[in-house]
Structure 1
C-alpha cells in the first residue's frame, strides 16, 4: 500500500534523541510473582539459603557413613538401633550424613543389617546447595524470567521489585488489528497496558481519547499519515506538542513523536509492519530508558546473502536464523508472512548502504 508522506522526513537519530530527552527511569514497585514476570528487575531482595538445612534427596535410610565401613551383602553390619527412614525433602536426622536405598538395609530379622557402605553426602542435598545465601531472584536491569520466579518461590519470596512502565494505547478506528498486536507485544515485554478506543477517526474523537494522566508512555495507533482521514498527529498537536512527524525510517515513515505534558507520545502507523518497525526503533529505546534496562541481547551471525539499503534512510531488516547464519526475509516493507517467520531484526543506520554476504552482523532476537 502506498502512503502519502509528510513534506520532510526527520532523521531517526534526531527524533529518538528528542523523544528521550529528560526521560528518567520510573520508580520501582513490588509486584506478586505472576505480575512481575517479564518486567525489569529493580531492587530485588537477597534470598535466604535453600534448603535451609540438609535434606534427603531420595527416599531411603538415613545413616552415618563412618559407621558403615566394610558393610556388604557378604558381611552385613548389624545395627544396635533401628535406622531412620526419610522421604525426599525431609530434614536429615541429627548426625546422619547419607541416605541408603531401601534394599541396602535388611530389616527382616531381629536386628536391622546394613548391606552396603555409604559415602558422606550420598542421597543428600546440603544446606544452601540449591540457593546460596545472598543470591537475588532476578538480575538488576534484566527481565524477570521463569528461572528467577523459580528461585523466588523456592526461597518463599512472594513479591519482587521491578520497574513496570504504564502504557496507554489509543486505538484509532481502522487500526484495531495493529493495536492488538502492539498491546500483545507490550504485555509480553512486561508493560502495564491499558487501551482507549477513539470513537471515530476525526480529530475531536482522538483528542478526547488522549489521556496521559496515569501513564508513563502514550501510543496512538493508526491515523498517523497525511491522508484525508488521518488525524492522529493534528490531535496530538492540539493537546500537546509534536516533536517530529515523518521519519527517515523504513518501514515506519509516517510515525510521529511528541509529548503530552511530560509524557512521551509516539504515533504509530496503522499498517502492522510500519507500526512494528516504529516499535523497534522508537518505543523499545523509550521503554528501556523508563525501565533502567541493561543493553538488550544481540546475536552475531554471518549474513547468508547481502542486504542493500538506501543511504539517508534508516531501514530495518527482518531475519531468520538458518544453518547458523542470518537469512534476510524482508527489508523496507514487510509482508505479514515475513513478520511471522522472523527470528530477529536488524537496524541498518542511515549512513550505511547495507551489509555484504558473509558479514557478521549483530541482530536483536524478536523475543529477548
Structure 2
C-alpha cells in the first residue's frame, strides 16, 4: 500500500525529458494536484456545496514558449508521441484523448482574447487515470497556471478555474461541474476546501486526521470511469429537469427533502440525493469546525454512499464491495467518490487499522474475481503551483 506521503511530484523527470523531446530547455515546470472529495458528490453542477482535499499526486508540466504558431504536446506516459496543432487550428481539429485536455486550455485562453503564442508542453501525470481522482483537472490546471505565468497574464484564480472548466466541458465534451478544477487550484496543505459553488464563497477547513489517529484510505477499484459517456450527462439533465419542475433555477435552492413532494420516480430520486447531500456537506463542515472527534463525520460519509447508490444510481458492484468491506473491517464511514460508474472509494479508518482494512478489501476482491484494487492514504496537499 502506498501511504500517500511519498513525493508525487517528478519535476526532474519532466525537465530532463523535455530536452530529449524538443531539443531545448523549458522555461519552467508547473504542477497541479488531483483531488479526493470528502463529501459533496454531484452537487457542484447543481450550485451546491463541496468539500474536497488536494492529493499529493500531481500532473507536472514542463513548458517552453516558442516563436512558432504551433502548440506541441507530449507526455511521459505516451513515449514517442508528439501532437502538433497550429494555433489557427485549435478550434477545428480532430485530436482526441489525453492531448485534448492540454490543447483545450490553450484554446480557451485564446478564445478569451489572451495573447497565448506557440508552446511546447511535456506532461508527466502521477494522478491515477480513470480513478475518479480528477486526473483531467490536474492536467488542465497545470497548463492554465503555466500559461498565466509565462505570458504575464492578469487573470485571477477564479478565471483560471473558469478556463479549465470550459476546456473540459466545451473542448473535451465532459459535462462536469467546477469541483475538480476548484480543488486543484484552491486547496491548501492540511485543509479541506469548503466551497459554495453557487456563490463562489470558500473557506479552508482544518483537516488533520493524523492528529486524531485517523487516516483517509483511498481504494481505487481499478474500474475506470469515463465521464464523457452519456450516463453522467443524463444525471445532470435529470437534475435540471427536477429543478424546472420545482420552479427553481437549481436544486441548490431546495433546502429540505420535504419540498420535493411534487416530484416522483427518477426525478425525485435524483433531486433527493442532491438536497440531502448538500445537507450532509454542511453538517460535516460544522462537525470539523467544532473541534469534535473527526470520527463523527463517518455516518455522513456512509449515508452519502447509500444515496449515490440508491437515489443517484452511479455506484458499481466493485465500489459497493469496497465500501461494505471497509465498514465491516471497522471503518467509521466509507463512500464512493467522484462521478461514479467506476473509480474510487474512501474509508475513514483508525491509522492502526489501515493495513487490516486494505487486506480485507484485497481478499474480498480476490474472492469476487475482481481486478485487485490500488490503495493509498490521502494527505491533504497544496494546490496548483510553479515548481521551477
Which TM class, normalised by the smaller chain length? under 0.3
Q: Which has the larger radius of gyration?
A: 1
Greater RCO structure (CA 8 Å; 6+ sep): 2
TM-score normalised per structure 2: 0.21
More strand by share: 1
TM-score normalised per structure 1: 0.22
